[in-house]
Amino acid sequence: MKKRKNTNHKPQGLAKRYKTGFIKRMDKRVVAYKTLTKLYREIIQDRGGESELSRIQLCLIEEYCFMFCLLKNLQYKVLKHPKKMEAYIGRFVQMVNASNGLAKTIGLERRAKKVLSLKAYAKDKE
């Protein structure tokens, strides 16, 4: 009888290419998932909450989180292998420019969540 291997079919880390909804498909036990979801939630909170954002903005935020983690991985590689820094520098500059563009598109400033007045809230509850 063949032994069954314990395999997890969910991605353990960051994928090589961005795909919309990748955070939801990740293994929730790994550090990368926890880091990504924390960053994703913080950015959404800074922009006034999920209800204040369009679907496109949410996708851009997810893409920014992906780019952020890629940058962190590349920084780690440079620190681990400083002699290979020249090989990574071009890719690093491209990623920084792309993430800066995404950040500007998403918005750099915090936006307060819209709060109903007490009258509007009471009327809404009726």
Counting as low any pLDDT under 50, the low residues of the chain are: none
The b-or-e profile of 8-28 (16+ CB within 10 A means b, else e) is: eeebeebeeeeeeebbeebee
Q: Give which of 39, 21, 40, 43 is closest to 107, Cα–Cα.
A: 43
Distance CA 118, CA 86 (A): 59
Distance CA 9, CA 17 (A): 17
Taking the domains of the chain in order of start, what are their residue ranges?
A: 22-108
Model pLDDT for residues 54-80, shown as the tens digit of each residue:
999 999 999 999 899 889 888 888 888
| DSSP assignments along 5-47, one per residue | P----S-SS--SS--TTHHHHS-TTSHHHHHHHHHHHHHHHHT
